[in-house]
Amino acid sequence: METYFKIAWRNLWRNKRRSLITIASVFFGVFFAVFMSSLQIGTFENMVENMVRFSSGYIQIQNEKFKDNPSVNNSFIDDAELQGLIENNKLITQYTQRIESFALASTGEKSYGAVIFGIIPEMEDNISHLSKWVSNGDYIKTGSNGVLIGKELASNLKLNINDTLILLGQGYHGSTAAGKYPVTGILNLPIQEMSKQMIYMDINNSRELFSMSGRSTSMVLMVESADDVQPAIEQIKPEVTGKLKIYAWNEILRELNNLVEGKLASGKIVKGILFMVIGFGIWGTIIMLMAERKRELGIMIALGVKKLRMIRIIAIESFFIGILGIIIGFIGSFPLVMYFYHNPIIVSGKIKQTYEQMGFEPVIKFSIRPDVFISPAITIFILFSIITLYAVWYIFKLKTADALRA
């Protein structure tokens, strides 16, 4: 078998032009497939991360009724034992507690509906990096009486730093929720829809506002990536008992999950078309190469070389070409993907507006997950192996007399 490999390797470089053309066809296939996969997966990962950091987290623990009826009445008492379990779980990178409710935000002259988030400032900042979006004023601290307000909402209410914001709503078990708070900071959030309605305050202030001492509406958990969500849930779920229920991000953000699944499905169709184009390109190259080698193959048959041995040599040659094309494709695509991974594309104009209207950060990011490189490589290699069957069929049907006259 070693002899076949040596002959195939020598044949490969006997006609460098022919081999380089075939290797190039595989290279471009891998290059474009990796680039497209990285772009697609990176974009969706960024969409998901944006939304989970600002809203649900990758995992969330709630009262079993809160998801369908998001009211402070469907909150739960803080559980120190559960917190200890989460702190000791190696898959959980950060966690925090939140109170989420609705209230009327007013200045006395104008009023707008708002989403109120009661947060633990330092722990929340580790998850949502909220402090970096403070465009005016300061980020709130634990024990602070001030609030953070979205830029759009502040503009609508004509509020500036140190102005007083009035909040009116319904508290725990039907109590009246009312309070006055100074504006500590204004948030220029990357998602426009959130900037129109978000108000953040210290969790203890929100508990006082809604008359729900020692309670939270959710516990938000973060993991390293979406791939760690299910393993983390399986570890924590046995400890989530009583009226509590644990959810993955895609169970809470249904619309986002449907959008991502739809885009992934359409992306697979586009990649399928790309692989078809690549496949026909490689097939055309193989047809051309076999036609060029017709006389050579005929002479070998005339000299007594069995067709089965020729097929083995051609198959090994194809294997070398496929592997070389894939390796060079990796070498060519990796630096480009890494560059865009560290330097995301910031979109502008109408595309930016579209992103913001959909609630996403107007940035195109790339992914460097292993499957970005492995999946296209395997697909191209399988495709190339199938196309190589043409060469096998060509040799089987080859007639010596016709080949010698070529």
| pTM of the predicted model as reported, rounded to 2 decimal places | 0.74
Q: Compute φ and ψ for 239, nearest 5 degrees.
A: -90, -10
Beta carbons of 278 and 322 less than 8 angstroms apart: no
Q: Please report, in tens digits, the pLDDT of each residue of the chain (406 residues total).
A: 677 778 778 877 877 887 888 888 888 888 988 998 898 888 888 888 878 887 788 999 999 999 889 899 999 998 888 888 888 899 999 999 999 999 999 998 889 999 999 999 999 999 988 998 899 999 999 988 999 999 999 999 999 999 999 999 999 988 999 999 999 999 988 777 788 999 999 999 999 999 999 999 999 999 988 889 999 999 998 888 888 999 999 888 888 788 878 877 888 888 888 888 878 877 877 787 777 777 877 787 787 778 788 778 778 888 888 888 889 998 999 999 999 999 988 888 887 777 766 656 778 889 988 888 888 888 888 888 888 888 788 887 877 777 666 5
CA 179-55-117 angle, to 5 degrees, is 10
CA distance 248 to 41: 19
CA distance 8 to 357: 57
CA distance 181 to 161: 11
